[in-house]
Structure 1
Amino acid sequence: MAHLLNTCWYYCHQYWIDIQDPRTADYPMVGGGAWKIVLVILTYWLLVKKILPYYMQNRAPYDLKIIIVIYNSIMVISNATFFFMLLNYVDGRLFFDFKYPDRNDRSPKTMTMLWLAWFGYLSRFFDMFDTIFFALRKKYNQITFLHVYHHMIVPFLGKILHYVKIFLILYCSLNIHLGWFSFKLNPIIPIIMMFAAFNTVIHVIMYSYYALAAFGPKMQKYLWWKKYITQLQLLQFLICGLYGIILYFRQTGYPMTWFVIAVGQNPIFFYMFYDFYRRSYRNESKQLNKNDKSMITNDNGKKSL
């Protein structure tokens, strides 16, 4: 029993310290064991799936329009800022260097990139607020498996890139993880930077949509481009997945267990986003076509094509 407890403690705490990138060990929400990130994720899951639905059970939905517009506007600005800083500091040649980045590199440019990656990592925590807003407005249909999984996986893989058992336990509820995961191993891995670049552009578009949609039905006619956001997300996972395959065969020095887990998120996300797209837009399109071809009743009660 003592050996089992020691093993559990090692993989829940000391293991993460042993594999820590020394340059990011003192960053808030990065250093130390896995308990902090696990606590955040479990708290998030309990809030959106248990606590808030119970709290709202006998209450009217909150009117959060102003708060949602402000929140989404802030997210647009922060993601746009992050993207333009990426363009300024990240050398495109990095994506053609398949050697595992040196964790002892403390050059001014590298340290700036580490700070930039940390800024992007922290923003993933703020992404969780949109789910909380859904719950407070009783929009439970929007708190889907895909939505919760996405928000819980990215922050975690942001801190991890290793332990399979913990990963499987939290598998259905981790986006913060991607950030924590990458910081533990090496936050300036090319595929992480590529994913971050794509992701921030999509987030700018997505949060712009959310901000406009918060104004209500009068804005709906201007939001015809909603489905293209999902198409961009699918393209993102496709490109990053293909790059990950190339990197797998050409890389040198990468920790393969966590490399496979991290890159493996692309086909998982692609499948879930495609399934969402198919159910949301393909079925909607078929229904519209069916209605267009159906019999229309005239004023005199007769049917005509």
Structure 2
Amino acid sequence: MSVVLKNLYHGYFWIFDELSDVRTSNLLFSSPFSIIAVMVIYVHAVKIWGPKLMENRQPYNIKNIIMTYDILQILLNTYISVQALRQVAIIQIDCGAIDWSDNPKSLEQLSIMKYFFGLKLVDLVETIFFVLRKSYRQISFLHVYHHAGMVLCSYLGFRFFGGGLSLWLPMLNGFVHVVMFVYYFLTAVDSSWKQSTAFKRTLTQIQLIQFGVFIVVYGSVFFRKCEYPSFACYLFVPQNVFMILLFGDFYLKTYVFSKSKNVKNAK
């Protein structure tokens, strides 16, 4: 038993001291235990503690808070996406290596990954809003897993793969979130937007395309000589395949099978 614990101890320091980006070792949330704590608290808060707290309470009217949050998300995601696009445009777009040095360009790329990680933590607040509004139907496995998965992926990107090809993640995901939060803001201003099935269907399609692009971008590393760490792709590719399966299942059930069922019932 002592040998196992010793190996785990040395393995931990090997991963987080030798393999990780030394430029991030002293930053907030650099420890994996902090991320584990955030994930555990998040899941318990939205699935157990929050619903129990709201059990005998009326849903809160937080429309103005949500609208402010949506605007903030639009601005922050626009900034992150544009900054990442600027960097992707000047690296080898399909096989960008990570520059581990302290030169200004590499530090700027690392900063983008760091801010993107912070933004994924801010995304968790959205689920808290669902709890306060008692919109429990929206706190699905897909929703919770997606948010938790993005926190983990952005953490790995910031802690281990801070630059190069990793910038595709904030570039595309930031753009998707701009579109998404514009829609959320519109629904908060005018509830009739919630009835727009076409907009919601298009938004899901954009998300599916995003996951597909990630699979192609990171999967291509396996088939070419590329200085970008293939280890990152072994994490990012399966994650995005799983997301396509989850979102694809949601898309089919919501916009394909339900439509066919409605047409059949109308006959």
TM superposition shift of 1:184: 2.3
Cα distance per residue 1:118-164 (max 9 Å; x no partner): 1111100000011111111111111111111111112xxxxxxxxxx
**Equivalent residues, number:** 267
Aligned to 1:21: 21
Deviation for aligned residue 1:87: 2.8
Match of 1:273 in 2: 247
Q: Is the 8 A contact 1:234 1:274 kept in 2?
A: yes
Number of the residue aligned with 1:106: 102
Separation in structure 1 between the aligned mates of residue 127 and residue 195 of structure 2, nearest angstrom? 25
Matches within 5 A, 1:84-233: 84-97=82-95, 100-103=97-100, 105-154=101-150, 176-190=151-165, 192-215=166-189, 217-220=191-194, 224-233=198-207
Match of 1:66 among 64, 67, 71: 64
TM-score w.r.t. length of structure 1: 0.80
How many angstroms does 1:6 deviate by? 3.1
Please report the RMSD computed on the Cα atoms of aligned residues, expressed in angstroms: 2.1
Report the Cα distance in structure 1 between the residues aligned to 2:59 and 2:225, rounded to whole angstroms: 51
In 2, Cα distance between equivalents of 1:85 and 1:242? 22
Residue 189 of structure 1 deviates from its aligned partner by 3.4
How many Å separate the matches in 2 of 1:3 and 1:197? 44
1:196 maps to amino acid: P
Structure 1 position 182, deviation (Å): 1.6
**What residue identity is the alignment partner of 1:185?**
F
**Are the equivalent residues in 2 in contact too, given 1:56–1:138 (CA < 8 A)?**
yes
- C-alpha distance 275-211 of structure 1, shift in aligned 2 (>3 A): same
Point out the more displaced range, 108-117 or 81-90: 81-90
**Residue 98 of structure 2 aligns to which amino acid in structure 1?**
P
Deviation at 1:26, TM superposition (A): 2.7
Relative to structure 1, the CA distance from residue 66 to residue 223 in structure 2 (aligned partners, 3 Å threshold; closer, same or farther) is farther
How far is the alpha carbon of 1:252 from its aligned partner?
Answer: 4.0
Distance 1:65 1:128, change over 3 A: same
The aligned amino acid for 1:283 is F
1:254 is displaced (CA, Å) by: 5.1
| 1:12/1:35 contact within 8 Å kept | no
Greater relative contact order (CA < 8 Å, ≥ 6 in sequence): 2
Q: C-alpha separation between the residues in 2 aligned to 1:107 and 1:150?
A: 34
Displacement of 1:259: 2.7
Counterpart residue identity of residue 28, structure 1: L
Q: Is the 8 A contact 1:29 1:36 kept in 2?
A: yes
Is the Cα contact below 8 Å between 1:13 and 1:35 reproduced in 2?
Answer: no
Higher normalized helix content (fraction of residues): 2
Query: Offset of 1:289 from its aligned partner?
Result: 2.3
Contact 2:91–2:164, Cα closer than 8 Å, also in 1: no
The 1:222–1:289 alpha-carbon spacing in structure 2 relative to 1, beyond 3 Å, is: closer
Partner of 1:56: 54
1:161 corresponding residue in structure 2: none
Residue 256 of structure 2 corresponds to 282
Gapped runs of 5+ residues in structure 2?
A: none
Per the TM alignment, residue 73 of structure 1 is displaced from its structure 2 partner at its CA by 1.0
In the alignment, structure 1 residue 248 sits paired with structure 2 residue 222: yes
Q: Deviations over 1:229-279 (max 9, x none)?
A: 110111111122122222111144555444312221111111111011111
1:198, 1:21 → 2: CA distance? Answer: 23
The two structures have a TM-score, normalised by structure 2, of: 0.91
